[in-house]
Amino acid sequence: MADPLLIELDRASPIPLYHQVATSIEAHIQSGTLAPGDFLENEVALAARLGISRPTARQALQELVDKGRLVRKRGVGTRVASERIRRTVELTSLQADLERAGRHPTTQVLTYEAVEATGDVAASLEVAPGTSVLHLERLRLADGEPLAVLSNYLPQESAPRRDELDEHGLYEALRARGIRPAVARQRIGARTATAAEAEMLDEEPHAALLTMERTAYDDAGVVVEFGQHIYRASRYMFDTTLFSH
């Protein structure tokens, strides 16, 4: 960042200084003074400039990290996070959601192999244990930035080719084959990243992840696919609308 941010503190206010600092920095992000990718001064420089303690400066920055506004990387610094992607909870593919949001999605197919269905996979696909199914794992990026790891299991006879999935979302590829997901059962949760997941998603070790497990069916009630997906909580959120009765 070229110029230090203007941050005014009211030391007589009952509002903690760290929260005043965090609120001021967030206002600069919302106004566009700070753009995604911009770097902030480190906590030592921030504390010295504002006349506050280093722990206070650290707490202010951490508050914004926890909200997904800033990203801190050891040896790199603190910068403004990319805008978080909001996804409505409906039967759409991540690729379509990203395109609708004006982002440029790309895909790296990590795994494309036949495996024997066991446990939850066999039960979700409604096949006998040991049945050969396709296991597909993809890394989805938005504007070149890792966003999610998508693991899916599909019946062999309906699975798209690997090359189709380099360019198209899974549901788009299925529809091109005459298979139309119509309804799904899904569960959304959260957990921390494993070391391998954190490396793939360019996150710190034990970073927070959103999880989604989905079983999709066609109009006839036949299982189309079973997916287990993880998303960067710092870049992604699920958005729901609730109605009262």
Q: Is the pLDDT of residue 33 over 50?
A: yes
Closest CA to 231 of 151, 144, 121, 136: 151
Q: Is the pLDDT of residue 175 over 80?
A: yes
| Region 138-166 average pLDDT | 91
Residue 155: CB partners within 8 Å, gap ≥ 6? 125, 127, 133, 134, 223
Sketch out the chain's domains with CATH numbers: 17-80 (1.10.10.10), 85-239 (3.40.1410.10)
| Region 223-228 average pLDDT | 93
How high is the pLDDT of residue 239?
61
Please answer whether residues 223 and 155 qualify as being in contact, where contact means their C-beta atoms are separated by less than 8 angstroms.
yes
Written as six digits, the tokens of 128 are 């006998």
Written as six digits, the tokens of 117 are 């269905």
Q: Is the pLDDT of residue 90 over 80?
A: no
Proportion of the chain above pLDDT 70, given as a percent:
88
How high is the pLDDT of residue 83?
66
Query: How many angstroms separate the first and last alpha carbons of the chain?
Result: 51
Least confident of 84-93, 185-194, 212-221: 84-93
Please answer whether residues 52 and 20 qualify as being in contact, where contact means their C-beta atoms are separated by less than 8 angstroms.
no
Please answer whether residues 24 and 30 qualify as being in contact, where contact means their C-beta atoms are separated by less than 8 angstroms.
no
Q: Is the pLDDT of residue 85 over 90?
A: no
How high is the pLDDT of residue 70?
86
Residue 3: CB partners within 8 Å, gap ≥ 6? none
pLDDT tens string 11-31: 999 889 999 999 999 899 888
Mean pLDDT score of the chain, rounded to an integer? Answer: 86
